Structure 1
Amino acid sequence: MILIAMGVSGAGKTRIGELLAERLNCSFTDGDAFHSAANKEKMHHGIPLTDDDRWPWLKAIRTAIEEKQKANETAVFTCSSLKRSYRDILRKEDKDVCFVYLKGTRELLAQRLQTRTGHFFDPSLLQSQLDTLEEPGEDEAITVSIELTPEQIVDETLAKIKLR
């Protein structure tokens, strides 16, 4: 099984991904590690990424997913996965890939971004991400509110996975 914690910046993807990996006793990979230096530089300067910026990034994450699958490993990844077309690249026709959509209000996300330190993402890009976001339906992802504690989010996610 491959889990992908998704959502806009500030949703808590990294924290939730780490906790899920810990609970599942598997590896964790932050999708941001696959961004090119040029992508990181653009985001640092408040310049939204284009689809052309994102395609190589998404394909690199998909390659890493396939490597985990070939090794028959469970793994947790993070990736904003804002559009269905992006999720299609990550998922392909693969029933083994499960998205966990970390959903929050603009106000809560903005508050979190204002208090975050040491990240390349410019908080001014939040609205751009929200504008780009195509929320996944129940057929695509497990949706969990970020208003819960991280532990509650992980508990709810794992409970919902069992029901699938």
Structure 2
Amino acid sequence: MHFVFMGVSGSGKSTVAGQVAERLGLPFAEADSFHPEANIAKMSAGVPLTDADRRPWLTALATWIAEHERRGESTVMACSALRRDYRDILRTGAPSVYFLHLDAPTELIAERMRARKGHFMPAGLLASQAATLEPLRPDEAGERIDIAPPIETVTAQALRIVAARLRG
């Protein structure tokens, strides 16, 4: 199985997904590290990415999933995956991709973004991401996780979900 922790910037995807991967000994991919420099420059300047900007990035992520699928390895990824069609591209990498949507009111996420340091995504792009976000649909494998509780609580819930799905 391949687990994609999705949501807008500032939702805790990297933190929660990284901890889940580490605790379960699974390969981890931070989707932001797959962005070409041009995408990072645009986002750093506060310019939202277009679908044309995202397509090669999403394809590279699906390829990463496919490589691990061929090896029989389950994986964990932190990726915004804001729209259904983006998730559809990720699903081309393997038949069993499960999305965990880390979600909370935009105001809470904005507050957390203002407090963090050293990330290229400015808080000003949150409104653009929130407008782009398409929540998981009933026919998509996945579930929503409320990120309002402390990060330790969110991580523990995510760990239970992933571990249970790995056990079948």
Q: What is the rounded CA distance, in whole Å, between the counterparts of 2:143 and 2:160 in structure 1?
A: 10
Aligned to 2:154: 153
Number of equivalent positions: 164
Aligned to 1:86: 86
Q: What is the rounded CA distance, in whole Å, between the counterparts of 2:161 and 2:72 in structure 1?
A: 22
Deviations 1:12-61 (A, max 9, x none): 00000111102221121100011010000000000000100100000000
Aligned amino acid, residue 21 of structure 1: A
Q: What is the rounded CA distance, in whole Å, between the counterparts of 1:135 and 1:33 in structure 2?
A: 24
Aligned to 1:29: 29
Aligned amino acid, residue 139 of structure 1: D
- Stretch moving more, 21-30 or 45-54: 21-30
Aligned to 1:64: 64
Q: Which segments of 5 or more consecutive residues in structure 2 lack a partner in the other structure?
A: none
SS at match of 1:4: strand
Structure 2-normalised TM-score? 0.91
Q: CA RMSD in A?
A: 1.6
Aligned to 1:113: 113
Q: Are the aligned partners of 1:27 and 1:74 in contact in 2 as well (CA < 8 Å)?
A: yes
1:156 offset after TM fit, Å? 2.2
Q: What is the rounded CA distance, in whole Å, between the counterparts of 1:93 and 1:114 in structure 2?
A: 34
Deviations 1:97-154 (A, max 9, x none): 1111000111111001111111111111000000100011343221100112223223
- Stretch moving more, 71-80 or 92-101: 92-101
Q: What is the rounded CA distance, in whole Å, between the counterparts of 1:147 and 1:135 in structure 2?
A: 17
- Stretch moving more, 58-67 or 138-147: 138-147
SS at match of 1:5: strand
Q: Are the aligned partners of 1:142 and 1:160 in contact in 2 as well (CA < 8 Å)?
A: no
Q: Are the aligned partners of 2:99 and 2:143 in contact in 1 as well (CA < 8 Å)?
A: yes
Aligned to 2:76: 76
Q: What is the rounded CA distance, in whole Å, between the counterparts of 1:104 and 1:67 in structure 2?
A: 32
Q: Are the aligned partners of 1:101 and 1:142 in contact in 2 as well (CA < 8 Å)?
A: yes
Structure 1-normalised TM-score? 0.93
1:93 offset after TM fit, Å? 8.1
Within 5 Å, give how 1:36-55 maps onto structure 2. 36-55=36-55
Measured at CA, do residues 67 and 118 of structure 1 come closer, stay the same or move farther in structure 2, by a change above 3 Å?
Answer: same
